[in-house]
């Protein structure tokens, strides 16, 4: 993998932060990589502190934003996770970095690829967004800018997600570089800070309830009907009231890691298993745990769990990685 010069990364979630570190380790970005984390986000603060205690790739520096999103210089790479952010899109129109590198921020990465190769200059907008005219215009302009960067060979997508083969072919035909990884840096690090849970069944929490996409009572009824004992790892956006109900339920132990489950669960052993509703973590944990013989199972969401807020297209998108599939 070729090395570049300097790079600045703007990250707003723990997964983005982890993947920015992986990008430096994989030499997708160069030896002078400045990773700037959004301020006032507890999960980011905890993740950054733990990453700093590990053997970070050479040349990588982490800091917390003091003045908001940094602007990439003309000769620097710009690493970002949320290509649908209005601030990011506006900055992309008023700056000229040498290269754009997109790292994973959940299944939104796949949506971004789908929109980039879509016909007719489709605006870059979130799947659930109800956007006004101004937001649609900004999303369209950002799409033009990213597609132009791809055609010029200045766009790299760095992902651990198994991109469907046809989509990967279209992305590369556009001119973008598509680089897949398997968390090589994370797998090289000790996991002493997170001993594996004693329970054989590990359940990953979900944000689908708080986001109004599935019914709370259906989800909790399913969870409480599982055979225990259970280890429960909350989603960082889970409702505190729901989490309190889970914590009070007999046979369930809640683990408050505060960092991505890719970091907390990478030391699981045969005999244990992971259950989850559809999420990016299913895919990344399969990458990390398959060689250890630990199954990571996705629960198909029954039709009566979904709320009216969950459109058919959104349901399909959320469940696209429900079952194992091969990487391109």
**Phi, psi angle pair for 310, to nearest 5°:** -95, 100
The verdict on residue 196 lying in a domain is no
On whether both 75 and 178 belong to a single domain, the answer is yes
Q: What is the pLDDT of residues 61-72, one digit of tens each?
A: 999 987 777 877
What's the pLDDT score for residue 321?
Answer: 61
On whether both 178 and 215 belong to a single domain, the answer is no
On whether both 124 and 20 belong to a single domain, the answer is yes
On whether both 217 and 312 belong to a single domain, the answer is yes
On whether both 53 and 125 belong to a single domain, the answer is yes
On whether both 167 and 59 belong to a single domain, the answer is yes
On whether both 177 and 52 belong to a single domain, the answer is yes
What's the pLDDT score for residue 1?
Answer: 47
The verdict on residue 193 lying in a domain is no
DSSP 8-state class, residue 13: S
Q: Which parts of the chain register pLDDT below 70?
A: 1-4, 128-130, 257, 321-328
What's the pLDDT score for residue 190?
Answer: 84
On whether both 40 and 125 belong to a single domain, the answer is yes
The verdict on residue 195 lying in a domain is no
What's the pLDDT score for residue 275?
Answer: 95
Distances 50 to 25, 31, 156, 197 between C-alpha atoms, Å: 17, 21, 27, 19
The verdict on residue 326 lying in a domain is no
Q: What is the pLDDT of residues 76-132, one digit of tens each?
A: 899 998 999 888 888 888 888 889 999 988 888 998 999 999 988 889 888 765 678
Rg (CA), the chain: 20
**Last residue in a domain, options 187, 209, 232:** 187
Question: Is there a contact between 102 and 124 (Cβ–Cβ < 8 Å)?
Answer: no
Q: DSSP labels for 99-164?
A: EEEEE-BTBHHHHHHHHHHSTT------TT----HHHHHHHHHHHHHHHHHHHTT-EEEEE-S---
What's the pLDDT score for residue 4?
Answer: 55
**Last residue in a domain, options 159, 187, 215:** 187
Total-model pTM: 0.88
The verdict on residue 119 lying in a domain is yes
Give the structural domain span for 238: 201-318
Q: Is 177 exposed, middle or buried (0-12, 13-18, 19+ CB in 10 A)?
A: middle
What's the pLDDT score for residue 323?
Answer: 56
**Last residue in a domain, options 124, 155, 187:** 187
């Amino acid at each position: 993998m070729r090395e570049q010069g300097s790079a600045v990364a703007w990250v707003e979630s723990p997964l983005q932060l982890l993947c920015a570190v992986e990008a430096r380790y994989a030499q997708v970005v160069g030896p002078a990589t400045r990773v700037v984390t959004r301020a006032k986000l507890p999960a980011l603060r905890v993740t950054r502190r733990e990453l700093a205690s590990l053997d970070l790739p050479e040349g990588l520096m982490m800091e917390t934003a003091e003045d908001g999103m940094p602007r990439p210089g003309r000769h620097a790479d710009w690493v970002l996770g949320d290509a649908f952010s209005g601030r990011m899109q506006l900055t992309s129109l008023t700056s000229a970095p040498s290269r754009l590198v997109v790292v994973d921020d959940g299944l939104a990465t796949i949506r971004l690829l789908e929109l980039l190769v879509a016909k007719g200059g489709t605006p870059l907008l979130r799947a659930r967004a109800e956007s006004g005219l101004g937001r649609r215009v900004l999303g369209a302009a950002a799409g033009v800018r990213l597609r132009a960067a791809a055609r010029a060979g200045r766009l790299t997508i760095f992902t651990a997600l198994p991109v469907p083969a046809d989509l990967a072919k279209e992305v590369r035909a556009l001119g973008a570089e598509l680089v897949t990884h398997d968390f090589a840096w994370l797998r090289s690090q000790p996991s002493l800070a997170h001993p594996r849970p004693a329970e054989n069944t590990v359940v990953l929490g979900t944000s689908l309830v708080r986001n109004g996409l599935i019914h709370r009572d259906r989800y909790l009824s399913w969870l409480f009907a599982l055979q225990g004992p259970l280890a429960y790892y909350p989603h960082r956006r889970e409702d505190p009231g729901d989490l309190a109900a889970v914590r009070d339920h007999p046979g369930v132990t809640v683990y408050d890691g505060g960092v991505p489950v890719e970091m907390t669960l990478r030391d699981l052993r045969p005999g244990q298993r992971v259950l989850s509703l559809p999420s990016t973590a299913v895919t990344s944990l399969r990458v990390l745990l398959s060689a250890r013989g630990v199954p990571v199972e996705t629960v198909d969401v029954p039709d009566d769990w979904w709320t009216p807020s969950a459109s058919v297209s959104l349901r399909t998108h959320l469940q696209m990685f429900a079952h194992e599939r091969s990487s391109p």
